[in-house]
Copies of this chain bind each other. A is one copy, B any other.
Amino acid sequence: MNTIDLLSHIINEKLNTLGYRRNPENLYLPIEYALSFGGKRLRPMLTLIACEMFGGNIEDAMNVALGIEMYHNHTLLHDDVMDKADVRRGQPTVHRKWGENSAILSGDAMLILAYRYVQRTKSNLDKVLELFTETTLQICEGQQFDMEFESRDDVSVDEYMEMIRLKTAVLLACSLKTGALVAGASDKDADSIYEYGIQIGLAFQLQDDILDVYGDEKVFGKKIGGDIICDKKTFLLLTALKKSSSDDIAEFNKWIGNGDAVPCDKIKAVTALYDKLEVRKDAENLMAQCYKKAMDCLENINVPSEKKTILLSLTEKLIGRSV
C-alpha cells in the first residue's frame, strides 16, 4: 500500500469509529450515512500530509483533519437540500431518505461535530480555529454567490473564479495550512502552502468543468454534460459567451434556458460551440497557470525537497485525472 492509500485507509478507519453516536438515534444515523458515501478523503489527507511535511506527528493533526472532513460532508448534505439533489454517489441523499427537516438538523449537528474535532487540536489551537472559522464562512459566501449566479445573466469570468476560490479552493488551502500550523511551520511557509492549496483548488475545479464536457464517464464517475443540461455557468460557458460573435450568441440562446431541448442534442450543440470557440484550451491554459503558481509556492517552502514528494504525487493524482 502506498502512502496515499495508507492515509486514506487510516482516515476511513477513524471516521468509522468516531463514536459520536448518542440518542436520539435519528439525529446521528443520517450523519453516519452521509459519511459512508466515501469519497477520496482528500481534505483530511492534505492536512496529514502537510503536517508530516513540516516534521509534525500526523496523530497531532488527526482531530483537525477529521473535523475538516466532517465539515466538508456537512456542506455536501446542506448543498444537496438546497439543490434538491436526489442522488449522491449513486445513493439517495439524506433528505430523500429522512426528509428535509432531518437533513437540516443533522447537517447542523455535523457542523457542531466538526468544531468538536477541530477544537481538540492541541498545538496552535488559536490559529487553527481562526482559520477554520474564516474558511467555513468564506465557503458560505461562495455557496451564496453560486446560488445567485443561477439567476444572473451578467456573471463575469472573474466573478466565477472568485466564486470557485471561495466555494472550493479555500477548504483545500485550509486543510493544508492547518496541518502546517499543527506541525509548527513558520508563518511564511504556512502561507505558502495555503496559496499552494488555493491554486490547486482552482485548477481542480477548472478540470472538473472540463471533465463535465470532455471527460470519460467511467473515469469521471458522473454523467457527461450535466453542467450543460442545467445551464450551469462554468468557466467554459462564461468564456465561450465572452468570445461569441452575435451568431454564436444566437445559437447559444437556442439552447440555454430551453427546457424543451432534447438533452443529448443540447449537449452536442453546446459542445460544438465550445469546440468552435476553443474554450477547452482556455481552461487548460488557465489550469496550467494555476499549476505553475502552485509549484512556485511549493518551491519556496523551506523543507528538503524529498519531504514534498507525497504532496506532489497526491496533486498529480488530483489534477492529472485522465480527460
Residues of A within 8 A of B (CB): 22-24, 26-27, 78, 81-82, 101-102, 104-109, 111-113, 115-116, 119, 129-130, 133, 136-137, 140-141, 143-145, 147-148
Q: How far is the CB of A106 from chain B (nearest CB, A)?
A: 8
Known contacts A26-B144, A145-B24; A116/B104 CB under 8 A: no
Query: Does A112 lie within 8 Å of B136, measured CB to CB?
Result: yes
* Contact with A24, one of B78, B102, B141 (Cβ below 8 angstroms): B141
A136 to B111 alpha-carbon distance, docked (Å): 10
Name, among A105, A106, A148, the residue most crowded by chain B CB atoms within 10 Å (CB to CB): A105
Residues of B within 8 A of A133 (CB): 112, 115-116, 119
Top 4 closest pairs, chain A to chain B, by CB: A27-B144, A109-B140, A82-B101, A24-B144
Query: Does A81 lie within 8 Å of B109, measured CB to CB?
Result: no
Query: Does A143 lie within 8 Å of B105, measured CB to CB?
Result: yes
Name, among A81, A82, A112, the residue most crowded by chain B CB atoms within 10 Å (CB to CB): A112
Give the residue name and chain of the B residue nearest to A133 (CB).
B116
Give the residue name and chain of the B residue nearest to A116 (CB).
B133
A171 to B184 alpha-carbon distance, docked (Å): 36
Residues of B within 8 A of A108 (CB): 78, 107-108, 111, 140
